[in-house]
Homo-oligomer: A and B are copies of this chain.
Amino acid sequence: MLRCRLRDAGRRHHDGGPRLGDGVTLTDEQRVDWLRLIRSENIGPRTFRELVNHFGGARAALDALPALARRGGAARPGRICPPDEAAAELKAARALGVQFVALGEPDYPLRLQMIDDAPPLLAVRGNRAVLARPLVAIVGSRNASAAGAKFAQSLARQLGEAGFGIVSGLARGIDAAAHHASLASGTVAVLAGGHQKLYPPEHAELAEAILEQGVTLSEMPLAWEPRARDFPRRNRLISGLSLGVVIVEAARRSGSLITARLAGEQGREVFAVPGNPLDPRAEGTNGLLKQGATLVTAAADVIAVLEPIMGRSIELPPAREPEPRAPPEAEPGDDERARIVGLLGPTPTSIDDLVRLSQSSPAVVRTVLLELEIAGRLERHGGALVSLL
């Protein structure tokens, strides 16, 4: 996993200036560039990071995109977000009381910063102080049982009183119960769509109430209508923000289990509330318990596990010297590019294997992958695996 700090064009434009990840804030100009880059086609959080590291900043990466896409064999050039569109989004956000917090800025949630695919920009609305608190997620079935909702409420209230911010997904059922019970202490609703497209719509009032002591938070454009696939993507933020995730009720193949899996991959604690084996809403949670999740029947069970972790300072990845810009010899030749592309297929392959089999340098392989990605031809999986689309 690549967990290097981002450096930005800022370093190039303002020689000797502070680097990102050191707790300094972006300039307005940089923020527009960051927003343009992450809103451009085929650019996800990982590609964003690769590009900024490779080119030394968002502006330089934007400038390089057309050439990269062409070399990656794009059928048509990917859409690059124009400056006025980004500026308009920033303006609309301000009007709505939404602030964009950039990876590495002091307000960016520290634990979220640790994940592989942390969003470069988080659109945050409300009382941001909650994000500095120790956070714990409570998630579960949309069609929760009365007992499940009641339990989620009592757990959220008690953990809130114990000083935790409660993270959830604003969904019906368990999520809503967890938010409701932690309105006073502070709660974080992570949205799958944009701030202007709350889902489900009937939770608009709940979302407003959350802003008093907590926040709503999204990585998507303000007007983004959430699609089915945005929910699992969103779930990585729920777990990534939190010290641990409590799954209250979950059927066999539910979104909550995706959150649990992501939590495990991110090294977060996974908690599950047991249920009667004949209750289909307990199938998922009982399954998690069999796999080693911590059994929760009371807030104390969660606190007992998280308290020792809270005390510990967050393990920041070792500070690295920023990688130098790829030297000229790292630019792949056409043969080399063709050889690397030839090694790829629909089956996920590790980048290490590509380096070994292509006999190219890691820098060259990385460049070719970046080109393919920007051309919309590459999919990145977890564990440094890639496949051709």
- Binary interface encoding of chain A residues 277-302 relative to chain B, with 1 for a CB under 8 A from any of its CBs, else 0: 11100110010011000011110010
Which chain B residue shows the least CB distance to A283? B297
Q: Output the least CB separation between A269 and chain B (Å).
A: 15
Contact A298 B277 (CB under 8 A): yes
Interface centre among A275, A277, A298 (most CB of B within 10 A): A277
A297 and B286 contact, Cβ closer than 8 Å, known pairs A276-B147, A276-B151: yes
A274 at interface, CB cutoff 8 A: yes
User: Smallest distance from the beta carbon of A337 to chain B beta carbons, Å?
Assistant: 51
Interface flag for A70 (CB, 8 Å): no
Is A150 at the interface (CB under 8 A from chain B)? yes
CB neighbours of A290 from chain B (8 A): 295, 297, 301
Interface residues of A in 235-266 (CB under 8 A from B): none
A293 to chain B, nearest CB (A): 10
Is A198 engaged at the interface, CB distance under 8 Å to the other chain? Answer: no
When the two chains form their complex, are residues B301 and A147 in contact, meaning their CB atoms are under 8 A apart?
A: no
Q: Which of A25-43 contact B (CB under 8 A)?
A: none
Does A139 interact with chain B (Cβ within 8 Å)?
Answer: no
Interface size class of A (residues with CB under 8 A): 20 to 34
A285 nearest CB across to chain B (Å) = 8
* A273: Cβ under 8 A from any B Cβ: yes
For A147, A283, A297, the residue with the greatest tally of chain B CB atoms inside 10 Å of its CB is A297
**CB-defined contacts of A273 to chain B, threshold 8 Å:** 276-277
How many copies make up the complex? 2
Among B151, B279, B295, contact of A278 (Cβ-Cβ < 8 Å): B151
A296 to B301, CA, bound (A): 20
User: Cβ of A279: which chain B residues have Cβ within 8 Å of it?
Assistant: 147, 276
Residues A295 and B301 in contact in the complex (CB < 8 Å), given A147-B276, A273-B277, A276-B151: no
Which residues of B have CB within 8 Å of A278?
147, 150-151
Whole-angstrom CA separation of A277 from B155 in the bound complex: 11
* A151: chain B residues within 8 A (beta carbon): 276-278
| Contact partners of A297 in chain B: CB under 8 A | 277, 283, 286, 290
Pick the contact of A276: B274, B283, B301 (CB < 8 A).
B274
Residue of B nearest to A294 (CB): B290
CB closest residue in chain B, given A289: B295
* The one of B147, B148, B283, B295 that contacts A286, using a Cβ cutoff of 8 Å: B295
Complex-state Cα separation, A297 to B289, whole angstroms: 11
Complex CA gap A242/B237 in Å reads 47
Binding site for B on A (CB under 8 A): 147-148, 150-151, 273-279, 282-283, 286, 289-290, 295-298, 301
- Counting from the closest, the 10 A-B pairs by CB-CB distance are A274-B274, A277-B297, A147-B278, A286-B297, A289-B295, A147-B276, A275-B276, A290-B295, A274-B286, A151-B278
13 additional contacts, CB 8 Å, given A289-B295, A290-B301? A147-B278, A274-B274, A274-B275, A274-B277, A274-B286, A275-B275, A276-B276, A276-B279, A276-B282, A277-B296, A277-B297, A277-B298, A289-B289
